[in-house]
């Protein structure tokens, strides 16, 4: 049995070949033209610099093909984060910036005493963002195209007239008095009055309420009073999260401090 000569696009020509031959043996010399050469094959990182501006910092990655990527560091000690970014950036010089997953793994494992911490991950996130920015510019598409394309054409955002997130207004060291509990419940009532029955009210505990007070407060709420109760435990404390889940009826949400797949995996496995 043999294959007839065919044309694939205008680039690859495959001649007659025996059934036992591999496809690679069917492809003639000069198979691929320069028209389909990977644009990312020769690009290299030439510099990484940081720009601190107030409470934010920006990471700039430059390449030998004049394609520049930008990333952002937020909610950190800015100058310390910039120093770490400058240090980690040395691992990228001379590397191909489109190997984004490779670089993330390499950076994450680069320092055993910082691995997994907020400082390290916020900095890696900014570098990761800049690398994706380079990839999008290099291939001439929005980054969301490289990530699989759009899924939704709209999202629910807050704050807005129909969506409010409530905070506890400060930390509390112990279980609350009836007045303490009533104050928290009243915050939810006021937010609900503003957004109406068709709006969304969220409560972010910021991990600053002790579990006994969370249980006291949430026991006064119906299951639909909140869209979710966020970070009512210290991130990583799955046992407390499980106990909160067993005692409150409103949906629970983790926060941005569960930063990697490993923290999220533990939550999913606990089925809370």
Could you report the per-residue pLDDT of 59-69, keeping only the tens digit for each? Answer: 999 999 999 99
pLDDT for the residue numbered 210? 92
| DSSP one-letter string for 199-212 | SEEEEE-TT-S-HH
Q: Which CATH class for the 45-146 domain?
A: alpha beta
Interval 135-162 mean pLDDT: 93
| pLDDT at position 27 over 50 | no
Position 263 scores a pLDDT of 86
Q: How many CB atoms lie within 10 A of CB 35?
A: 8
CA dihedral 176, 181, 183, 189 (to 10 degrees): 160
Q: In the prediction, which pLDDT does 37 show?
A: 55
Distance CA(189)–CA(23), nearest Å, equals: 68
Q: Mean pLDDT across the stretch 99-120?
A: 90
Kindly report, as residue ranges, where domains of CATH 3.20.20.120 are found in the chain. 163-270
Please check the confidence at residue 153 and state whether its pLDDT lies above 50: yes
Q: How is domain 163-270 classified at the CATH fold level?
A: TIM Barrel (3.20.20)
How confident is the model over 162-190, as a mean pLDDT? 92
Locate CATH 3.30.390.10 in the chain.
45-146
pLDDT tens-digit readout, 251-264 = 999 888 888 888 88
């Amino acid at each position: 049995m043999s294959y007839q000569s065919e044309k694939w696009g205008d680039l690859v020509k495959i001649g007659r070949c025996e059934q036992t031959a591999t496809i690679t043996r069917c492809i003639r010399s000069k198979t691929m033209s320069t028209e389909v050469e990977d644009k990312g094959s020769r690009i290299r990182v030439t510099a990484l610099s940081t720009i601190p501006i107030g409470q934010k910092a920006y990471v700039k990655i430059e390449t030998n093909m004049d394609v520049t990527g930008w990333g952002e560091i937020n909610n950190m000690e800015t100058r310390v984060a910039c120093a770490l970014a400058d240090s980690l950036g040395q691992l990228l010089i001379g590397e191909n910036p489109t190997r984004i997953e490779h670089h993330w793994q390499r950076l994450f494992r680069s320092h055993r005493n910082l691995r997994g911490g907020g400082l390290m991950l916020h900095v890696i996130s900014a570098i990761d963002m800049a690398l994706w920015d380079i990839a999008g510019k290099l291939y001439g598409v929005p980054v969301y195209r490289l990530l699989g394309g759009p899924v939704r054409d709209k999202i629910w955002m807050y704050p807005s007239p129909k969506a409010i997130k409530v905070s506890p207004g400060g930390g509390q060291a112990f279980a609350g008095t009836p007045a303490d509990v009533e104050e928290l419940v009243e915050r939810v009532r006021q937010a609900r009055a503003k957004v109406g029955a068709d709006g969304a009210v969220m409560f972010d505990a910021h991990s600053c309420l002790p579990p006994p007070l969370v249980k006291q407060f949430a026991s006064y709420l119906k299951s639909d009073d909140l869209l979710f109760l966020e970070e009512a435990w210290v991130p990583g404390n799955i046992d407390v999260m499980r106990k909160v889940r067993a005692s409150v009826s409103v949906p629970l949400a983790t926060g941005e401090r569960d930063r990697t797949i490993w923290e999220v995996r533990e939550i999913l496995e606990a089925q809370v």
